[in-house]
Every structure is written in structure tokens, then in C-alpha cells.
Chains A and B, each alone.
Chain A
Amino acid sequence: MSVKRTAVLGSLLMGCSLVLAADDEVPDAEFLEYLGLWEESDEDWLIFDEPITADAEERSDPVPQGEESTETKDES
């Protein structure tokens, strides 16, 4: 077997093992529990990191450019 062929085979084997290693990547338990904490996706909590979007009454149409929003104004 030529040196060139050995080198090609070696590279192929290395590439395969890298792909397998990536597929076998196992995260730690804390992270897995975090992923399983949410009903649909762990992206869900981002909504509640911005309470304004969960609390505020919204208008049904986009606010025209330059117009003031009343989204967070209270009508007391």
C-alpha cells in the first residue's frame, strides 16, 4: 500500500470518527433537565424575560412610523 493511499485512508477514518464523536455528544444532566422543563421548547421562557410583552395590551395593527404607542400606558 502506497504512502499516499495510507494517508487518504487515515484521513477518511479520522473524518468518520469526528462525525461519530459529534453525533455521540452527550450533554450533562443539568442541561437535559433544563431542556425538559418546558412544554414545547426552551425558547418559551424568553417571552417572560421581557415582561412587557406578556403584560402589555397590544394594538392589533403595526404602529405607523412616528406615532406614539399606547401599549404600556395605563388608563387609570
Chain B
Amino acid sequence: MKAKTILAIAMITFAGLAVAEDTGVSWEQLSADQQRVLSSFSENWDTLTPERQTRLSTGAERWARMTPKQRDAAQNRFKRWRDMPPERRNQIRERYEQYRDMSPAQQKRIRDNYRRYQRMPAERRQMLRDRYRSLTPDQRQRLRDRARDKPRATTRD
């Protein structure tokens, strides 16, 4: 009985791992819109890595759903992204991966911070940026840890 339980747990665990692994998307699984956007890959789709298939199919789906205005904005963001030094892009990707590992509540707090910051007058944003730059790496790390771990206060001191 004990052996059966262990086997069952092992099977469930490995099944979970298999689901988590990126297995890609077959050409037949793509919608008509995705196939149209990705038509240049129709002949060699099977030769692409699963990760690339996933990125391309997700990107094609997003593109197909966008309005012309959204497409323009996304292309401008892409240009900014592409023109960044690789180190900066890696740094942003690392932060993004950390963000994905956070709880929904922590993610919401970060998104709220960003929106609040965006709404601030330019001078105030500049002042905060200057202050942030003046912090030592240790101080920045402590801020990061505090933002991640400490429950948000509902009242001010």
C-alpha cells in the first residue's frame, strides 16, 4: 500500500513536470490568423525549437488581435527594446522573471507603483530618480527586499 502511494505521488509529480515543459505548438494547432501571420514558416515550422514555436505563435496571436494604433505602439516599444544594450535587456528580463515568481498581491503592488509613478509630474519623477541613483547597491537591495516581503501598510505613520 505504501509503495503504491509513493508510486502514485511520483507519477503525479512527473506528470506535472511534463506539463510544465514547453512542448511547442504544431502547425495544425495554430489558428487561421496565426498561420497567416506565420506563413513564411509553414515549410519549416517543425524544425523550430519548441520555445521559439511558443514565442512566435503567442506573438502572432497578439499581433492579429491588435488595432493599428496598438501595433504602432508595440513597434515603437520593440524599437526601444532592440536599441538597448544587451546588458540592460538582460537586467530587465531578470527583473521580469523575479516579478513572475511573485504572488499576485506583490505583482499588483508593483504595477500600482508604476502607474502612480507614471502619473507624477516630470520634475517629481526626476527627483525620485536622482534619489534612487544616489543609493548604494546595499540600500537598493534592502528596498527591493522590503517591497517584496513587507505587507503593504494601509495607514501612514
**Are A and B interaction partners?**
yes
| A residues at B contact (CB < 8 Å) | 22, 24-27, 29-39, 41-62, 69, 71-74, 76
State the CA gap A27–B37 with chains docked (Å): 8
- A48 and chain B: residue at smallest CB distance: B95
Report B-chain residues with C-beta under 8 Å of the C-beta of A57. Answer: 143, 146-147, 150
Report A-chain residues with C-beta under 8 Å of the C-beta of B153. Answer: 59-60
State the CA gap A55–B129 with chains docked (Å): 12
Query: What's the minimum C-beta distance from A37 to chain B, rounded to whole angstroms?
Result: 6
With A35-B59, A37-B59 already in contact, 12 other A-B pairs whose C-beta atoms are closer than 8 Å: A25-B71, A32-B38, A32-B60, A35-B62, A36-B57, A37-B55, A45-B92, A50-B129, A54-B113, A55-B132, A56-B128, A60-B155
State the CA gap A19–B77 with chains docked (Å): 25
Report A-chain residues with C-beta under 8 Å of the C-beta of B39. Answer: 26
- List B95-123 residues whose CB lies under 8 Å from chain A: 95-96, 99-100, 109-114, 116-117
Contact A76 B139 (CB under 8 A): yes
- A25 and chain B: residue at smallest CB distance: B71
Contact A42 B77 (CB under 8 A): yes
- B79 and chain A: residue at smallest CB distance: A31
- B152 and chain A: residue at smallest CB distance: A60
Contact A32 B131 (CB under 8 A): no
Report B-chain residues with C-beta under 8 Å of the C-beta of A44. Answer: 96
Q: Nearest 8 pairs between A and B by C-beta? A: A36-B59, A36-B58, A35-B59, A32-B59, A36-B55, A48-B95, A74-B139, A53-B114
Contact B54 A36 (CB under 8 A): yes
Report B-chain residues with C-beta under 8 Å of the C-beta of A61. Answer: 156
Asked if B63 is at the interface (CB within 8 A of a chain A CB), the reply is yes
The listed residue (A30, A72, A74) touching B128 by CB distance below 8 A is A72
Sample 23 A-B pairs with CB under 8 A, ordered by A number.
A24-B36, A31-B75, A32-B55, A32-B56, A32-B60, A32-B63, A33-B59, A36-B57, A41-B62, A42-B74, A47-B110, A53-B114, A54-B110, A55-B140, A55-B144, A55-B147, A56-B128, A56-B147, A57-B150, A58-B152, A69-B128, A72-B135, A74-B143
